[in-house]
């Protein structure tokens, strides 16, 4: 289907975990709350309500830092089973409108309603109806973006949050995209945004004046993606079957691991837990390469992966040595994992990781 004929909806629940907690405990409404780990045990904020965000609190922030910003902040422990139940109910609502659903997480998804007969084929009316039904049945709000492609639909869903709806019609795309700051484009982080700003590129209108070859010269292969986004072009389909890319385990320690030896001593317990998660994949995937992630005491972090490295305790030990050398500082978090391929593409190979461990 041509890109401009698509009707894509991006649905994003508003402060999902916190919204469920406020729904189930109305006394939490109107006060700053976050869902996450204990500030005294190096927990982090998973999500927070809008009252908390007014203090500068955001997801992935250390809980201790969040408490400093807002001493009256109440941090609620997560109830993942409840969140999964609510997410499943919302996904069931989506399925009434289209089978083309791509969940991105428990609280957001893309829907392709291009050929849906629901609501007289109107993507806008479908989005409105979904929002109404979610609020009525689940007691929380969702925001929605409607656009000709995934890139624009995702930006639109964030446009009028919370409890908002933004529609970008095909004839509005050029003007809408031109005004966008490049820093909000998918894949543009702080460093890339600064590089673009140094080139005099602050908006998509600025970006559009550059030729594709020039952008590739300056930004590498990502320059091609930037060239397309500046024109509102995104041909990615809604992918119904999401392939798992990796499986991992990580742990934040109550006290910094002071040196490399302490990090290596922590590996067996992490690998045992990783092995359990891999077993539950039931041979659907093939392990392609191991990786390790270290977050140092100053919150800098590094991830190291190596194709062909042995997926054994010794293999992860070598990765840990190399990763630790990049920082050489006490470590607050270690993560271990493997990248995955579909086992069907590997001539029936099964995932049999860590058979050598013991």
Could you tell me which residues are annotated as the binding site? Answer: 12, 107
d(C-alpha 108, C-alpha 129), whole Å: 16
Cβ-contact 177, 204 below 8 angstroms: yes
For the chain, the residue count is 358
Q: Which residues are catalytic?
A: 108
List, in order, residues 6 or more apart from 163 with CB less than 8 Å away. 14, 131, 141, 142, 143
Buried b (16+ CB within 10 A) or exposed e, 48-57: bbebbbebeb
The three-state secondary structure class of 317 is: helix
Cβ-contact 49, 22 below 8 angstroms: yes
d(C-alpha 145, C-alpha 150), whole Å: 9
User: How open is the CA angle 349-353-358, to the nearest 5 degrees?
Assistant: 145
Distance of CA 129 to the CA centre of its chain: 26
d(C-alpha 324, C-alpha 331), whole Å: 9
Cβ-contact 156, 168 below 8 angstroms: yes
**Orientation angle between helical segments 80-95 and 16-24, nearest 10 degrees:** 100
Pairing type for strands 101-105 and 45-48 reads: unpaired
Cβ-contact 346, 286 below 8 angstroms: yes
- Number of other residues whose CB lies within 10 A of the CB of residue 255: 9
DSSP state of 236: P
Q: Which of 323, 339, 321, 182 is nearest to 264 (CA)?
A: 321
Cβ-contact 157, 211 below 8 angstroms: no
């Amino acid at each position: 289907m041509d890109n401009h004929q698509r009707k894509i909806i991006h649905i994003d629940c508003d402060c999902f975990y916190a919204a469920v907690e406020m729904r189930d405990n109305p006394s939490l409404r109107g006060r700053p709350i976050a869902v996450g780990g204990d500030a005294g045990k190096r927990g982090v904020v998973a999500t927070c309500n809008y009252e908390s965000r007014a203090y500068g609190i955001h997801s992935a922030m250390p809980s201790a830092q969040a408490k400093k910003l807002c001493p009256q902040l109440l941090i609620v422990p997560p109830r993942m089973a409840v969140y999964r139940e609510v997410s499943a109910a919302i996904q069931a609502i989506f399925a009434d409108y289209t089978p083309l659903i791509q969940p991105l997480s428990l609280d957001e998804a893309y829907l392709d309603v291009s050929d849906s007969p629901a609501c007289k084929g109107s993507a806008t009316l479908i989005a409105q109806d979904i929002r109404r039904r979610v609020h009525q049945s689940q007691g929380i709000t969702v925001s929605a973006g409607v656009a000709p492609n995934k890139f624009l639909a995702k930006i639109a869903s964030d446009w009028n949050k919370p409890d908002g709806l933004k529609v970008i019609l095909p004839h509005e795309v050029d003007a809408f995209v031109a005004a966008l700051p490049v820093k909000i484009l998918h894949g543009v982080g702080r460093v890339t945004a600064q590089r673009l700003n140094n080139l005099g590129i602050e908006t998509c209108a600025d970006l559009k004046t550059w030729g594709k070859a020039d952008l590739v010269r300056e930004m590498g292969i990502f320059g091609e993606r930037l060239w397309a986004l500046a024109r509102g072009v995104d041909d990615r389909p809604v992918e119904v079957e999401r392939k798992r890319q990796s499986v991992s385990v990580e742990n934040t320690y109550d006290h910094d691991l002071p040196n490399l030896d302490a990090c290596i001593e922590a590996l067996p317990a992490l690998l045992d837990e990783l092995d359990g998660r891999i077993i539950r994949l039931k041979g659907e995937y093939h392990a392609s390469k191991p990786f390790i992630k270290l977050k140092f005491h100053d919150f800098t972090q590094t991830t190291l992966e190596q194709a062909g490295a042995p997926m054994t305790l010794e293999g992860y030990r070598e990765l840990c040595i190399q990763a630790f050398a990049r920082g050489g500082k006490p470590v607050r978090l270690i993560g271990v994992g493997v990248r995955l391929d579909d086992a069907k593409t590997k001539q029936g190979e099964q995932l049999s990781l860590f058979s050598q461990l013991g």
